[in-house]
Amino acid sequence: MFVPYIISVVTTLLSTKASGSSCWRDTPCNARTTASFSGPWDSYNYSPASRIVSPVNIFTENFTLLSAYPKPTNLSSNVLIYDFGKEVGGIVTVSYNAVGSGQLGLAFSEARNWTGRDSDGSNGRYIPRADGALFAPVTTTLNGTYTMPDARMRGGFRYLSIFTTTDHSINVEITNVTLELSFQPTWSNLRAYGGYFHSSDDLLNRIWYAGAYTLQTNAVPPNTGRVYPLIGQGWRNDAWLGTKGNTLLVDGSKRDRATWAGDLGIALPSVFVSTGDFESARNALQLQYDLQVRYSKEGELPMAGPPLNFFGSDTYHMSSLIGTYEYLLYSGDLQFLALSWESIKRAITYVVKKLNQESGLLYVTGTGDWGRDSQGGFNTAANALMFRTLVTGSLMAGWIRDSISSRWEEQAYVLKAAMNSAVFNWDPVAGAFKDSNVDSSIHPEDGNSLALYYGLASPIHHKNISDKLVTNWGPIGAKCPELKFNIVPFVESMEIKGHLAIGQTYRALDLIRRSWGWYLNNPYGTESTFIEGYLEDGTFGYRAFSGYEKDYSYTSHAHGWSTGPTHALTNYVLGLQLASPGGADWILAPQFGDLKFVEGGFTTSLGKFSAKWTLIPGGYELSYYTPIGTTGRLILPAGETRWPTATIDGKEFRLDIYDGSMAHATKFRVPGGKIAITVMY
């Protein structure tokens, strides 16, 4: 199953030294310098061509357009709002001429509603507008400049509000505003993605790329974390995040700017199919195992990394393990597996010890979680993560030839049988899983979605669960039963993958457009990245009533945990999936939904993988281009009534199995390389 020649991998992927110095400050440049795939889809890429960017428009305080940027503009007692047109983050420099003396103020906001003399919330104290502004003393000068201090770097914003003290003692002419982007610090070319996606649906293309860009803004230099303990006034982002590497994948760009393990469950696979930033991902995972060695004899992995160092979450613990599997799958980095295996095994054993002797179910005692109203006991979502931890743990053990593999596989299937039994968590009346074996007050979105996505739910329950999930939908997304009043794209990411995993393509596309489409088209947001969560009424106050103390401005508008569609569209709709490290084995299983064509690809240690499908009258054309020496399996859409015909260059291409009831046909063991097939059905 595992192929020794992939061991040396990630190093070759990352070895190209970039010329020039457009990486962040003195960070070594060690990423690819050109995109793996280029074409018309590049116009959807939100990432700037240069690390130095400027605003695109200048507005008055009440959002009347003053001018496009650049235009020298005078400030007296007014506020000018510089709009960068998309999410950005880093160090701002303002050039100006001044007459008089006073102070220049700079305030930052991701969303339009919190522009003005105070920044949106980021410092973590939930005191409205307590982040305040940066102030610089200004006296009469020609060609003055102000550069904000590194410690006050603003990691995520779209709007920069510039103003002076209100006493009319100073006039300032703003002549230039520039921003040195701090994210994706090891890349000299921020647009050099390893993956791409292009389809007949403009909105889905934009959503795929906004997910990718969100993840880029979450890849940060290791000395730019939010300080902890929290400060009450202003903000500081100069905490060390604990990694020895040069870049780290954190939860959000404005905040919290620390690794959060649960977020990785959605963020990592989306990184691997889009930006291909294996370096930030590997550093985040390595950090988890370093902290385990430092802090936990029992093998527990942290819920959040430095400077927070939170422990106590079984679900987050398992997300790190599942994320490790995803990393190995896409990177092929079996050296990481070899070096970390003892730690990985200890971490799996830590949670396996919590399995109940009689039922085989996980009994959650580490109750920290993503923000759901409650956690603990035989919780459904936690057991879905447990099932996946056992399955992927068993696969990883197989890759490294550890005989524990079969035991974990067996435990996975004992757990699965118990979960699907009405004695435990299945609720036959509702047609969905209860929140736990004893709590049927809600049928959670996370647990039911993960049960589909991870294959925990018995096939006889698939349709019922999908139907039940749809009952939570409103016009702008799925209302989350386990976090009342909220719509949570992190959990919706699980939901769309759940629908797709069982072939409910239309439902998944519908929810992607409703929720992610709503946010991306909302002029009050960043129009380029994805929000952490929002309220059912369409205001941005995620968790306003359950954790964020009514500070609507605290919500992060660039949160990697909300990027599920990026992976989902590549993995299920294009249908290109990996089945062993680096993609030595792969699967192509397209789902058409209401689309006319889709193409896309990504880059692993073995090379470039891409595919394309296009509907034609009576069938479709399908092509793939995968590394020579790899082996694939095609799972092809087919009608329900007759065996489809497949041809290559007009010659018959024999399919192995036709399953009319599932409406697909399978061809096993197709070789890597470049092949185009026409299928009629």
Ligand X SMILES: *[C@@H]1O[C@H](CO)[C@@H](O)[C@H](O)[C@H]1NC(C)=O
* E strands in 530-663: 534-535, 576-578, 585-588, 597-604, 607-616, 619-637, 645-648, 651-652, 657-659
What single-letter amino acid sits at 331? S
Residues 69 to 128 in contact with ligand X, rule: CB under 6 A: 70, 72-74, 113
What are the structure tokens assigned to 53, written together?
């960017």
Give least dist CB 361 to ligand X, A.
Answer: 23
Which of 127, 308, 251 lies closest to 531, judged by CA? 251
Give least dist CB 172 to ligand X, A.
Answer: 9
Nearer to ligand X, 109 or 324 (CB): 109
Q: Is 464 in the site for ligand X (CB under 6 A)?
A: yes
What are the structure tokens assigned to 20, written together?
């020039």
User: Are 605 and 625 within 8 A, CB to CB?
Assistant: no
Nearer to ligand X, 219 or 520 (CB): 520
Q: Where are the alpha helices (DSSP H) in 438-521?
A: 445-453, 462-470, 489-501, 505-511, 518-520
Give least dist CB 257 to ligand X, A.
Answer: 23
Please count the other Cβ atoms lying within 10 Å of the Cβ belonging to residue 223.
15
User: Are 210 and 217 within 8 A, CB to CB?
Assistant: no
The residue whose two tokens read 């989902």 is: 568
Nearer to ligand X, 221 or 525 (CB): 525
The CA distance from 288 to 285, in Å, is 5
User: Beta strands 619-637 and 585-588: pairing type?
Assistant: parallel
Nearer to ligand X, 94 or 578 (CB): 94
Q: Is 463 in the site for ligand X (CB under 6 A)?
A: yes
Give least dist CB 618 to ligand X, A.
Answer: 30
* 606 phi/psi in degrees, rounded to 5: -85, -15
Nearer to ligand X, 414 or 430 (CB): 430
Sign of CA dihedral 285, 288, 289, 294: positive
Please count the other Cβ atoms lying within 10 Å of the Cβ belonging to residue 8.
13
Nearer to ligand X, 365 or 539 (CB): 539
Nearer to ligand X, 41 or 540 (CB): 540
Nearer to ligand X, 209 or 540 (CB): 540
- Provide the mask over 209-248, with x wherever binding to ligand X is found by CB under 6 A and - wherever it is not: ----------------------------------------
The CA distance from 234 to 136, in Å, is 14
Q: How many residues bind ligand X (CB under 6 A)?
A: 22
Question: What angle separates helix 261-273 from helix 278-295, to the nearest 10 degrees?
Answer: 160
Give least dist CB 446 to ligand X, A.
Answer: 20
- Provide the mask over 351-380, with x wherever binding to ligand X is found by CB under 6 A and - wherever it is not: ------------------------------
Q: Where are the alpha helices (DSSP H) in 218-355?
A: 261-273, 278-295, 314-331, 334-352
Give least dist CB 453 to ligand X, A.
Answer: 19
- Tell me the DSSP string of 211-234: HHHHHHHTEE-TT-BPPSSPPSSS
Can you give the three-state secondary structure of 142-209, one letter per residue? EEEEEECCHHHCEEEEEEEEEEECCCCCEEEEEEEEEEEECCCCCCCCCCCCCCEEEECCHHHHHHHH
Give least dist CB 653 to ligand X, A.
Answer: 35
Q: Is 536 in the site for ligand X (CB under 6 A)?
A: no
Residues 494 to 533 in contact with ligand X, rule: CB under 6 A: 524
User: Are 149 and 92 within 8 A, CB to CB?
Assistant: no
Give least dist CB 424 to ligand X, A.
Answer: 17
Nearer to ligand X, 51 or 567 (CB): 51
- Tell me the DSSP string of 600-615: EEEEETTEEEEEEEEE
Q: Is 545 in the site for ligand X (CB under 6 A)?
A: no
**In this chain, which stretch among 363-371, 461-469, 639-647, 654-662 interacts with ligand X, using CB under 6 A?**
461-469
The CA distance from 417 to 429, in Å, is 18
Give least dist CB 140 to ligand X, A.
Answer: 11
**In this chain, which stretch among 17-25, 275-283, 460-468, 560-568 interacts with ligand X, using CB under 6 A?**
460-468
The CA distance from 182 to 47, in Å, is 13
What are the structure tokens assigned to 221, written together?
């230099």
Give least dist CB 488 to ligand X, A.
Answer: 16
Give least dist CB 326 to ligand X, A.
Answer: 32
Q: Is 143 in the site for ligand X (CB under 6 A)?
A: yes
The CA distance from 552 to 556, in Å, is 10
Give least dist CB 58 to ligand X, A.
Answer: 11
- Provide the mask over 3-42, with x wherever binding to ligand X is found by CB under 6 A and - wherever it is not: ----------------------------------------
Using DSSP's 3-state secondary structure scheme, residue 263 falls into: helix
Contacting residue, 208, 228, 530, 540, with ligand X by CB under 6 A: 540
Give least dist CB 268 to ligand X, A.
Answer: 29
Nearer to ligand X, 74 or 374 (CB): 74
Using DSSP's 3-state secondary structure scheme, residue 25 falls into: coil
User: Beta strands 196-199 and 79-109: pairing type?
Assistant: unpaired
Nearer to ligand X, 113 or 335 (CB): 113
* E strands in 486-583: 486-487, 534-535, 576-578
Give least dist CB 171 to ligand X, A.
Answer: 6
Contacting residue, 539, 629, 648, 671, with ligand X by CB under 6 A: 539
Nearer to ligand X, 74 or 365 (CB): 74
What are the structure tokens assigned to 488, written together?
């949570």
**In this chain, which stretch among 293-301, 392-400, 462-470, 583-591 interacts with ligand X, using CB under 6 A?**
462-470
Contacting residue, 68, 142, 151, 648, with ligand X by CB under 6 A: 142
- Provide the mask over 45-74, with x wherever binding to ligand X is found by CB under 6 A and - wherever it is not: ---------------x-x-x-----x-xxx
Nearer to ligand X, 64 or 403 (CB): 64
Nearer to ligand X, 550 or 674 (CB): 550
Give least dist CB 8 to ligand X, A.
Answer: 41
Nearer to ligand X, 72 or 618 (CB): 72
Nearer to ligand X, 169 or 464 (CB): 464
Give least dist CB 436 to ligand X, A.
Answer: 19
Query: Which residue number has the CB closest to ligand X?
Result: 431
The CA distance from 272 to 262, in Å, is 17
User: Are 122 and 196 within 8 A, CB to CB?
Assistant: no
Contacting residue, 85, 128, 431, 639, with ligand X by CB under 6 A: 431
Residues 172 to 201 in contact with ligand X, rule: CB under 6 A: 173, 176, 178
Give least dist CB 538 to ligand X, A.
Answer: 6
Nearer to ligand X, 66 or 203 (CB): 66
Distance of CA 17 to the CA centre of its chain: 27
The CA distance from 548 to 659, in Å, is 50
Q: Which residues bind ligand X (CB under 6 A)?
A: 60, 62, 64, 70, 72-74, 113, 142-143, 171, 173, 176, 178, 430-431, 463-464, 467, 524, 539-540
